[in-house]
Amino acid sequence: MTDPADLELAHRLADQADAIARRYFSTATIESRIKSDGSPVTDADREIELTLRSLIRLEHPDDGFIGEEFGAHGHGRRRWIIDAIDGTASFLAGEPEWSTLIAVEEDGRITLGMVSAPALGHRWWASPNSGSWAGPCPSNPAAPTHRLALSQGGSAQDAAVGIWPPPARLNQQERAVAARLARGVSRVRPSLDWTAAVPIAPAPRKPSTGSGTCHGALLVATGQLDAFLLLGAGPWDIAPLIPIVQEAGGTFSDLTGQHRTDTGAALFARPGLHQQLLGIAVAAN
């Protein structure tokens, strides 16, 4: 079970990130630039990551840290994994479905995950053997706290599955995986030609947009999708969602079936569907 002090610190880190992000979000214009992977980054991303890294260093100087914007710092059996703003495109567009992602990894095992979405007024968190929870954040302190629990999945051919990012941002091998999965299930969000290498106009939106959550894996944890496949991802995109999905009763692996966050791929699924979907996604051509 996770040290309660880690969960308490994660909530404080999320509170700090929420305050910084909301300050930027309330302005008329948020400046951004495009990174080498084609995704946007803002001053808010950088300020949040640097602030959280400093706070963690003060309380746990021996812990390592890795973030999307500034990489890895420090070494040790424990490290904090941070995505300052997941959903930067939504953040820039003035839409509410963006969040800060926080995880703790100990000896290679994710022992805490948290997603805080202040513009939605929600926060989700989990740790092994402690349940998966949705509850309040400072922007919505009256929100009730409730435990997430998933029902058993059925057949893959009847499943509704989210896939991200869009095909033009995937390499040829990743597009093949996405296309196989899309062909083998009932519904895919977003509904696209997953073999297409040319960017689509207008740009497709994440499966979470309009759902009241801000990450595709949360759609699985909250029962709104049967599965979610994330490709070309960093550990900060994956690690915080692992305990939230698993403690709700769902499953996680990369495309080799391992519980790794460093291979760039993550499949989150309702119980009973994971192996079916994994078999479809990695089947030989």
CATH number for the domain spanning 96: value is 3.30.540.10
Tell whether 203 and 143 lie within a shared domain.
no
In 18-144, the DSSP E strands lie at: 32-34, 40-42, 64-67, 71-73, 78-86, 99-106, 109-117, 122-126, 132-135
**Mean pLDDT along residues 164-183:** 95
* pLDDT confidence band for 179 (50 / 70 / 90): very high
Predicted pLDDT of residue 46: 92
Q: Which of 118, 147, 176 is the last residue in one of the domains?
A: 147
For residue 130, which phi and psi values (nearest 5 degrees)? -120, 0
108 in the same domain as 56: yes
Who wins on pLDDT, 153 or 124?
124
Same-domain pairing of 135 and 23: yes
Please tell me whether residues 109 and 225 are part of one structural domain.
Answer: no
101 bridge partner residues: 83, 115
Question: Pick from 147, 169, 203: which residue ends a domain?
Answer: 147
Q: What is the mean pLDDT of the chain?
A: 93
Looking at the structure, do residues 82 and 162 belong to the same domain, yes or no?
A: no
Q: Which residues is 221 bridged to in the sheet?
A: none
pLDDT of 195 over the 90 cut: yes
- On whether both 115 and 250 belong to a single domain, the answer is no
Same-domain check for residues 187 and 106: no
What pLDDT does 203 receive? 85
- The pLDDT value recorded for residue 147 is 97
Q: Which of 114, 147, 180 is the last residue of a domain?
A: 147
| Residue 248 belongs to domain with CATH number | 3.40.190.80
Q: What is the pLDDT of residues 132-142, one digit of tens each?
A: 999 999 999 99
The answer on 12 and 131 residing in a single domain is yes
| Residue 36: per-residue pLDDT | 65
Same domain, 76 and 137: yes
Domain check: are 72 and 186 in the same one? no
pLDDT at 16: 97
Least confident stretch, 32-41, 200-209, 252-261: 32-41
- At residue 257 the predicted structure's pLDDT band, cuts being 50, 70 and 90, is very high
CA distance 214 to 134: 13
- The structural domain count of the chain equals 2
Give whole-number Cα distances, 61 to 17, 53, 55, 57, in Å.
Answer: 20, 10, 10, 4
pLDDT given at position 89 = 86
| Residue 1 predicted with pLDDT over 60 | no
Domain hosting 163: range is 156-281
Q: Answer yes or no: do 124 and 191 share one domain.
A: no
For the segment 150-168, the average pLDDT, to the nearest whole number, is: 94
Q: Is there a cis peptide before residue 61, judged by omega within 30 degrees of 0?
A: no
Indicate the pLDDT class of residue 66, thresholds 50, 70 and 90.
Answer: very high
Q: What percent of the chain has pLDDT over 70?
A: 97
For residues 10 and 113, state if they share a domain.
yes
